[in-house]
Amino acid sequence: SQQGEEDPQALSIQEGENATMNCSYKTSINNLQWYRQNSGRGLVHLILIRSNEREKHSGRLRVTLDTSKKSSSLLITASRAADTASYFCATTLFQAGTALIFGKGTTLSVSS
Amino acid sequence: GAVVSQHPSWVICKSGTSVKIECRSLDFQATTMFWYRQFPKQSLMLMATSNEGSKATYEQGVEKDKFLINHASLTLSTLTVTSAHPEDSSFYICSARAPRDSTASPLHFGNGTRLTVT
């Protein structure tokens, strides 16, 4: 089953620019997490925001959560070529088990 | 930090054969591991939840007799793709959560296994 929908599906920017990715979900959540995946590799956890939080920062990452709109955004500031990857939002549902349900992902390409 | 090791990283097999993929938690004990499948340019789809010492819980649409999961110890879960066919070609990723972590905590992922069935 798919919970989240990210947009845009693909994003191409220049180094130094900011990248914003959005995620929408369908049901009530416990928390929302963002992961990064380099091509052909596993996923790396970036940041977790709980359902009672509205904004969270970690280095160049800023995540917002709007539970009334069932949406979240991930902002990467001052992007670098090394940020090129796919980014996924994932949720833990209240009523489901402890597995993460992933969105479709945004593929970010940062050119130098 | 918690490390999950997955082996092999890639495998090519002939149609009709079986392939076993191992997922190990290297520095923690994982009572629960999760297996995901990812097709090219798509997201991760949860296949099953593997519980140590008990039967795996499969997601709707995933054939349990085709994708055999064994979680015989607290550090090892295996996924066996039986009688593989070309449509089973995909990227399989395992993940785990340390017992001390809450159910809301992040998952630790292996690096995935690229399966190609010819």
Strand A106-111, strand A10-14: pairing: parallel
Residues 18-77 of A with CB under 8 A from B: 30-31, 33, 35, 40-45, 48, 50
Greatest C-alpha distance within chain A: 44
Of residues A2 and A68, more confidence is placed in A68
Q: Which residue of B has its CA nearest to A39?
A: B41
Instruction: Tell me the per-residue pLDDT of B93-102, one tens digit each, with 9 for 90 and over.
Output: 999 977 666 6
CA distance A112 to B20: 41
User: Could you tell me which of A78, A94, A72 has the C-alpha nearest to residue A14?
Assistant: A78
At residue A91's C-alpha, the angle toward residues B113 and A9, to 5°, is 70
The beta-carbon contacts of A11-14 under 8 Å, at least 24 apart in sequence, are A11/A106, A11/A107, A11/A108, A11/A109, A12/A108, A12/A109, A12/A110, A12/A111, A13/A79, A13/A108, A13/A109, A13/A110, A13/A111, A14/A110, A14/A111, A14/A112
Chain A: nearest CA to B44, how far in angstroms?
6
- What is the least distance, in Å, from the CA of A101 to any CA of chain B? 7
Separation between Cα atoms, residue B55 and residue B64, nearest integer Å: 10
Segment B28-41 shows an average pLDDT of: 90
pLDDT score for A93: 66
**Helix/strand/coil for A59:** coil
Nearest CA in chain B to A89: B43
Length of chain A: 112
The DSSP code for A78 is S
Q: Where are the beta strands (DSSP E) in chain A?
A: 5-7, 10-14, 19-24, 29-37, 43-50, 55-58, 61-66, 71-76, 85-93, 101-102, 106-111
| Cis preceding-peptide flag for A8 (omega within 30 of 0) | yes
Mean pLDDT of chain A: 90
Tens digit of each residue's pLDDT (9 = 90 or more) over B49-65: 988 888 899 999 999 99
Q: How far is CA A94 from the centre of its chain?
A: 19
- Which tens digits make up the pLDDT trace of A12-65? 999 999 999 999 998 888 889 999 999 888 899 999 999 999 999 999 999 999
